[in-house]
Amino acid sequence: MGEVAAAPRKKVSFRQYLTHLTEPVQRMNPITVQILGICSALAVTVKLKPALFMAGAVLFVLVFSNFLISLLRNTIPHRIRMIVELVVISFFVILVDEVLRAFAYDVSKQLSVFVGLIITNCIIMGRLEAFAMGNKPLPSILDGIGNALGYGIILIMIAVVRELLGSGTLLGWQVIPASWYELGYINNGLMVLPPSALLVLGTIVWLHRAWNKQLIDVS
């Protein structure tokens, strides 16, 4: 679970608001630093299109549940806190699922059970517990956007690598020219298989930490 419970501040400058947005994208990235929300993310990164929809769905659910929980934060009985959070998350996830099935049928088929698994995406639960329960609505919205962006950026990076190397396309458009195939280029079959997502993610973590030395695991 997330460990960055920001203490409620008295006076908040615009700059400080902005850090809610920027911190989770890089230094506190939910996936590569906090190890959250990896579960449902990786299986939808074979192609860029479902990854984009997944990122969008998480953005929607995270922002709205952060906002709602933040609004309700003083009324929620402590004992059923987790259940209330789960109900709120499930509520938005069901909304997303219903809308996708009505207006983006092909994408909803590709995402199949992984839309439902947004409920147990630890990023959302983690942010509700660590942030929305103790902060006002506006910072909560910004925090939601920031974390969803941090999540989405990693998702899109993985999907771009996998679709480009695995299928030679991006969003279904042929990117690698046909002439290359004639010269003997072949798509990397490993990239369409599930384990490659972890290889790509491992590499991203490596590059991220090589660039930002503070994040290196000392244990």
Partner 1 sequence: MARWNVNSTSYTIVYSLILAVVVSVVLALVAAVLHPYQERNQKLEKMNYILHALGVYLDDPDSVEAFYQRTIYEVVGRPSGEIEEGGRGPGPAFAVSIAQEYKVAPEERRLPVFIYLGESEPVFVLPMWGTGLWGPIWGYVALRADLKTIRGVVFDHKSETPGLGAEIATLQFQKQFEGKAAYDEEGNVLIRVVKPTLVQQETDIEGLSGATMTTKGLDEMLREWLALYRPLLEKLKKEQPWQTASDVAQHVKAPIPPILVDKRESI
Partner 2 sequence: MEWLNIVIRTTFLENMVLAYFLGMCSYLAISRQISAAFGLGLAVIFVETLTVPLNWVLKKYFLDPGALAWLHPAFAQVDVSFLTFLVYIATIASAVQLVEMVVERFFPALYNALGIFLPLITVNCAILGASLFMNERDYTFGESVAFGFGAGLGFFLAIVLLASIRYKIRYSHVVAPLRGLGIAFILTALLGIAFLSFAGIQL
Binding site for partner 1 (CB under 8 A): 46, 74-80, 83-84, 87, 91, 94-95, 98-99, 101-103, 105, 166-167, 187, 189, 192-193
Distance between CA atoms of residues 149 and 20, nearest Å = 11
What is 147-198 written as a DSSP string?
HHHHHHHHHHHHHHHHHHHHHSEETTEE-S-HHHHHTT----GGGGSTHHHH
Which one, of 42, 84, 63, lies nearest residue 147 by Cα?
Answer: 63
Closest separation in Å from C-beta 46 to partner 1: 6
Closest separation in Å from C-beta 146 to partner 2: 19
Binding site for partner 2 (CB under 8 A): 32, 35-43, 82-83, 86-87, 90-91, 93-94, 97-98, 112-113, 116-117, 119-122, 125, 193-199, 201-202, 205-210, 213, 215-219
Q: Which does 125 bind (CB under 5 to 8 A by kind): partner 2, partner 1, none?
A: partner 2
Q: Which does 77 bind (CB under 5 to 8 A by kind): partner 1, partner 2, none?
A: partner 1
Q: Which does 52 bind (CB under 5 to 8 A by kind): partner 1, partner 2, none?
A: none
Closest separation in Å from C-beta 79 to partner 1: 6
Q: At what angle do helices 48-72 and 137-167 cross, to 10 degrees?
A: 170
Distance between CA atoms of residues 140 and 199, nearest Å = 33
Closest separation in Å from C-beta 59 to partner 1: 19
Which one, of 133, 123, 11, 136, lies nearest residue 57 by Cα?
Answer: 123
